[in-house]
A = this chain, B = another copy of it.
Amino acid sequence: MSKTSTTPIRIGIVGHGNLGRGVEVAVAHNPDLRTVAIFTRRDPAGLRPQVAATPVHRIDELPAFAGKVDVLVLCGGSKDDLPVQSPELAARFNIVDSFDTHARIPEHFAAVDRAARAGGTTALISAGWDPGLFSINRVMGEAVLADGATYTFWGKGVSQGHSDALRRVPGVAAAVQYTVPVDSAVQEARSGTRAELTTRQKHTRECYVVLAPGADAQAVREAIVTMPNYFADYDSTVHFVDADELARDHARMPHGGFVIRSGNTSDAARQVIEYRLQLDSNPEFTASVLVAYARAVHRLHAMGERGARTVFDVPPGLLSPRSAEELRRDYL
């Protein structure tokens, strides 16, 4: 597809959970990219690549790949992996990560920026859809409609953090939590009235819970719906299911949501911008975003940019395999 480069961009994948597997598949969809190898902390012999021919190496073999990888896509978690891996690897490689602990983004950016500048690399943090594509729409919506209100809705989708919180409740053997946007609130945001919407008005939480043997259903339900931060501020519903039903009906990872900016350009003129994602697979979509940004990072590096960047710093055209001429002619 690419008219500008002939040798594919060489991608290294660090970590092979849901996200890493998604990156492997996404790279295979893009002829201008190629996976050099997957790097794992596990025993490489036990790891099954999505694409049969993909080499697998131990993560401690990475230093030997300096000069053989154009961009590393880091697929670890934001809690324990990325705060360490991103600065460490940005010292020697161009990287993309999906760091999504919102409150810690400034410190993560600073740590990665320091490492990348010292190492002469280019590092894009917090790519994905939120943070990521949703963030871009929040910024552009406000920039275009200065006088207005921005709404972000998530779901319907599985929240990993809330599912984990359910599993920590005594008496819960297994659980999945869906965040569900309230339809009337979405309509309200879309209407351009700029209503103020509370946490409870915007989302409900639906919990599918498998009880541990002998657990008291009523006590478990009460512990869930009153849990501070996670459930108490929402209308939360608890459904008790058996392990088979959970495995059969709740193993997929759909997600999505809306960013809506409604504003006025004059008293008489209401304007509404809406960005919506409907995702069958959250990790595969996130992976596809990371891969498009890996392409951009390679180009930014080739243009001489060094240090940490976010999606706010990346011109949209750099995400595309097509040349600037082609984009102007066929897509503008």
Chain A interface residues toward B at CB < 8 A = 1, 22, 25-26, 29-30, 102, 105-106, 109, 126, 131, 133, 135-136, 138-140, 142-147, 190, 192, 265-266, 268-281, 284-285, 287-289, 292, 295, 310-317, 319-322, 324-325, 327-329, 331-332
Interface contact B312-A284, CB-CB below 8 Å: no
Interface contact A329-B105, CB-CB below 8 Å: yes
Interface contact B310-A328, CB-CB below 8 Å: yes
Known: A136-B316, A140-B319, A315-B312. A271 touches B265 (CB 8 A): no
Interface contact B275-A274, CB-CB below 8 Å: yes
28 of the cross-chain contacts (CB-CB < 8 Å) are A1-B146, A25-B266, A26-B146, A26-B265, A29-B265, A105-B328, A105-B332, A106-B329, A138-B331, A139-B327, A143-B319, A144-B285, A144-B319, A265-B287, A268-B281, A269-B284, A269-B285, A272-B276, A272-B279, A273-B275, A274-B277, A275-B275, A276-B276, A310-B327, A310-B328, A312-B317, A313-B317, A314-B316
Chain B residues positioned under 8 Å from A279 (CB to CB): 269, 271-272
> How long is the Cα–Cα vector from A144 to B268 in the complex, in angstroms?
37
Q: How far is the CB of A126 from chain B (nearest CB, A)?
A: 5
- Give the one of A138, A192, A271, A314 with max B CB within 10 A: A271
Chain B residues positioned under 8 Å from A313 (CB to CB): 315, 317, 324
Which among B192, B266, B272 is the interface contact of A281 at CB below 8 angstroms?
A: B266
Number of copies: 2
Interface contact B272-A284, CB-CB below 8 Å: no
Chain B residues positioned under 8 Å from A288 (CB to CB): 144-146, 265, 271
> How long is the Cα–Cα vector from A126 to B285 in the complex, in angstroms?
30
Query: In this complex, what residue of B is CB-closest to A109?
Result: B328
Chain B residues positioned under 8 Å from A277 (CB to CB): 271-274
Interface contact A289-B144, CB-CB below 8 Å: yes
> How long is the Cα–Cα vector from A324 to B136 in the complex, in angstroms?
13
Interface contact A281-B287, CB-CB below 8 Å: no
> How long is the Cα–Cα vector from A320 to B140 in the complex, in angstroms?
7
Interface contact B316-A332, CB-CB below 8 Å: no
Chain B residues positioned under 8 Å from A106 (CB to CB): 325, 328-329
Q: How far is the CB of A290 from chain B (nearest CB, A)?
A: 10
- Give the one of A25, A143, A270 with max B CB within 10 A: A143
> How long is the Cα–Cα vector from A160 to B126 in the complex, in angstroms?
42
Q: How far is the CB of A165 from chain B (nearest CB, A)?
A: 24
Interface contact B319-A265, CB-CB below 8 Å: no
> How long is the Cα–Cα vector from A322 to B315 in the complex, in angstroms?
17
- Give the one of A144, A190, A275 with max B CB within 10 A: A144
Interface contact B268-A332, CB-CB below 8 Å: no
Interface contact A102-B332, CB-CB below 8 Å: yes
Chain B residues positioned under 8 Å from A310 (CB to CB): 317, 327-328, 332
Interface contact A265-B292, CB-CB below 8 Å: no
